[in-house]
Amino acid sequence: MQAFDRNWKVCSQNVAAGTTVLTGTTLDFGAVKLEESCPTKDQAPPSVRGGRMPVFKGKSVKAARAALDAHTSLTVKDASAHHRWVLVESNWQVCSQTPGPGTRLKGQPVSFTAVKFGESCP
């Protein structure tokens, strides 16, 4: 979710250039900020397998939210001392998580601490 698309470049896409697709086709682009380098390949999103909490540390908050059930109560707090709001979740990386990796998910609330990509977790 880029707020200003002119500061981003496309690194990958799910439909090859020049391909004709139906109007309702969802296009998925992998993008980074202009000053960043494109990754060599897309990172696989985390998945909740066997009903257990995956390792989300280092993943984007957006990817972590998408991996969880849509009904999961999720709280995200800034892990830095700045107490910022986490608004654009794709710009933030998970530092810590509760419950911890491997914990069986039984509908309990999930919480993350996060910092912006490029910052270090405390």
In tens, the pLDDT along 16-71 reads: 889 999 999 988 888 888 888 887 776 666 778 788 999 999 999 999 999 998 88
Q: In this structure, what token pair is assigned to residue 22?
A: 């139906």
Inside any domain, residue 47: no
Asked if residue 45 is part of any domain, the answer here is: no
Q: What is each CA distance from 102 to 43, 44, 63, 97, 99, in whole angstroms?
A: 20, 18, 18, 11, 8
* pLDDT of amino acid 37: 83
31 and 70 co-located in one domain: no
pLDDT, one tens digit per residue, over 26-41 is 888 888 888 888 877 7
Instruction: Give the range of the structural domain holding residue 111, as residue numbers without chain letter.
Output: 61-116
Q: Which amino acid type is present at position 16? A: A
Calculate the CA 33 to chain-centre distance.
15
Query: Confidence class of residue 2 from pLDDT cuts 50, 70 and 90?
Result: low
Say if 44 falls within a structural domain: no
Residue 49, domain member (yes or no): no
Whether 110 is in a domain gets the answer yes
- Global pTM reads 0.69
Under 8 Å between Cβ of 78 and 59: no
Domain assignment present for residue 54? The answer is no
Q: Are residues 32 and 66 in the same domain?
A: no
**Is residue 25 situated within a structural domain?**
yes
Instruction: Check if the beta carbon of residue 103 is closer than 8 Å to that of residue 117.
Output: no
